[in-house]
Amino acid sequence: MNRTDRLLAVVLELQGQSWTTAAALARQFGISERTVYRDVVALTEAGVPVVSVPGRGYTLMPGYFLPPLHLSVSEAVMLSLGADAVRAAFDPEYAAAAESALKKLTAALPHERRAEVTGLRERLRVVPPDEGTDVAAVRVLRGAVLAERSVTFTYHKPGGDPDVRRVFPLSLVYLHGAWLLGAFDPARGDRRTFRLSRIERLIVEATTFERDPAWRTGPEPAGQGRTVTVHLRFPPGSERALRERPSFFQQDMKTTPDGVSVTLRVRDGRDVLAWVLSWGGAVRVLEPEGLREAVRTEARAMLAGS
């Protein structure tokens, strides 16, 4: 942290607390108390009204706010919840940045608004699902996306053999509790989406690529490349359970006299085999025949192993 950034951080720290000491500031910023004294002098000379009282420490003159933020309580709460979500989902570097931003936001609010926002944050929480996120992979791929460097990895597609892929990483998306990598696959000449939990032996290459403006940076458009339609039927009254455990590939759900009809769009029936099997006898596969046969094969294998 350079001195300019540290001076701003000191102001925000003073603004966020009633009183603090030189020793506490020195510990927080990893500097000596002598440096703290010099920083306080510099802030005072710059017009920041730092109040110093022997035996109590430092504070800011009441009514001084930097920077001036004109946020409603709802706006401040939403920014706070967003920072909480980032802290929970991202790697340590971005989690620390979110924590720092949240601290600055809270400190910059007037006292009465700060108390209201803090109270609401204690009642409203965003808790991303914990699916064993590979924090190291998120950090590595984030760097590759920003540096526009190609990556190679082994990808484990459900029901298929591991495949070595070389792609141009374009974006990282956190969707339905899982991290997805949006990338351009030069060997296939098209966009592809990869689930981080299925990636192993990730390597960032020295080779850079030039981002084509035609490449979308978000996730693939829904249904792109998914040419296989899966029709399933569930017993009457299954709507609530299906809403609680939807498939990533789900396109439609309709209630019929015979039960609940669910339509999925996939590249291969094996993409949803595990999800279908998780419903046991509560689901009937209407089509495609390949998925019906895969379910029968798995059922026979389970019986043989029991």
Which CATH number belongs to the domain containing residue 194 in this structure?
2.30.30
Please measure the distance between the N-terminal and C-terminal CA atoms of the chain and give it in whole angstroms: 61
Q: How far apart are CA 56 and CA 48, in angstroms?
A: 19
In a domain, 157, yes or no: yes
**How many domains does one find in the chain?**
4
Amino acid 69: pLDDT:
56
Which of 123, 144, 159 is the last residue in one of the domains? 123
Candidates 157, 156, 222, 209; CA nearest to 183 is: 209
What angle do helix axes 111-123 and 73-89 make, rounded to 10 degrees? 50
Amino acid 128: pLDDT:
63
Amino acid 211: pLDDT:
84
Q: Looking at residues 48-57, what average pLDDT do you find?
A: 89
Give residue-wise pLDDT tens across range 200-259. Answer: 999 999 999 988 877 665 555 555 667 899 999 999 999 999 988 888 888 899 998 889
Q: Are residues 77 and 35 in the same domain?
A: no
Q: Are residues 55 and 77 in the same domain?
A: no
In a domain, 191, yes or no: yes
In a domain, 219, yes or no: no
Amino acid 24: pLDDT:
92
* CATH number of the domain where residue 9 is located: 1.10.10.10
Q: Are residues 244 and 266 in the same domain?
A: yes
Q: Are residues 160 and 116 in the same domain?
A: no
Its domain, for residue 99, covers: 73-123
In a domain, 216, yes or no: no
